[in-house]
């Protein structure tokens, strides 16, 4: 999996009780960051397993599933990697969903905007169950870069291992 230019990994709205509003924080990682690249590769390699855990209802995955998706920035400076919910598979390995964060670099898009993307654009996945978050490979890498109160809160809700055992 390869993403353009600079990774703009948004702080996950899905980890908070409700989505963040305008001005969502960004945590930036260089394209070559080995820990972030390893996290995204591991998330991609476990994606099919995660999707198999979530039932479809009327063609849409259960709301417990969110995907972190690399979408081309409007300014052409790489990708904005942002959480998407209300995931619906469409033809082939393509999906639609709604933005779960307020984008910073996706002109014409806002919290809740519908987007289309391919499986290859998925950088991470999250499954919320009984107050615990599974997946969130990139979030685990971001913890040392977040304010301590936010990181401490996330540590209380992240599962001990990304995959349910």
pLDDT of residue 6 exceeding 90, the answer is: no
What whole-number distance in Å separates Cα of residue 67 and Cα of residue 135?
A: 10
CA 124 to chain CA centroid, nearest Å:
5
In Å, how far are 20, 51, 153 from 124, measured between CA atoms?
A: 19, 12, 20
**For residue 130, what pLDDT is reported?**
92
Q: What is the CA radius of gyration of the chain?
A: 15
CA distance 112 to 120: 22
Segment 58-97, tens digit of pLDDT: 999 999 999 999 999 989 888 999 999 999 999 889 999 9
- By DSSP bridging, strand 6-10 and strand 132-135 are unpaired
Share of the chain above pLDDT 70, in %: 84
pLDDT, tens only, 113-127: 999 999 999 999 999
Q: State pLDDT tens for residues 79-89.
A: 999 999 999 99
Which of these ranges, 2-6, 108-112, 125-129, 137-141, has the smallest mean pLDDT?
2-6
Put residue 48 in one of left, alpha, beta given phi > 0 → left and psi -120 to 50 → alpha. Answer: alpha
Note whether 146 and 138 are within 8 A (CB): no
Instruction: Give the model's pLDDT for residue 149.
Output: 93
C-alpha 140, offset from chain centre: 12
3-state secondary structure of 101: coil
């Amino acid at each position: 999996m390869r993403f353009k230019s600079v990774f703009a990994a948004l702080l996950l709205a899905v980890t908070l009780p409700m989505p963040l509003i305008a001005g969502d924080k960004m945590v930036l990682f260089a394209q070559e960051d080995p820990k972030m690249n390893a996290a995204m590769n591991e998330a991609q390699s476990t994606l099919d397993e995660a999707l198999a855990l979530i039932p479809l209802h009327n063609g849409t995955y259960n709301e417990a599933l969110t995907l972190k998706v690399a979408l081309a920035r409007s300014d052409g400076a790489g990708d904005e990697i942002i959480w998407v919910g209300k995931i619906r598979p469409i033809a082939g390995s393509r999906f639609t969903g709604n933005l779960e964060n307020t984008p910073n670099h996706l002109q014409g898009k806002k919290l809740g905007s519908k987007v289309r993307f391919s499986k290859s654009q998925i950088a991470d996945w999250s499954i919320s169950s009984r107050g615990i978050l599974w997946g969130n490979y990139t979030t685990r890498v971001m913890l040392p870069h977040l304010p301590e109160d936010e990181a401490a809160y996330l540590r209380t809700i992240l599962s001990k291992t990304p995959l349910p055992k």
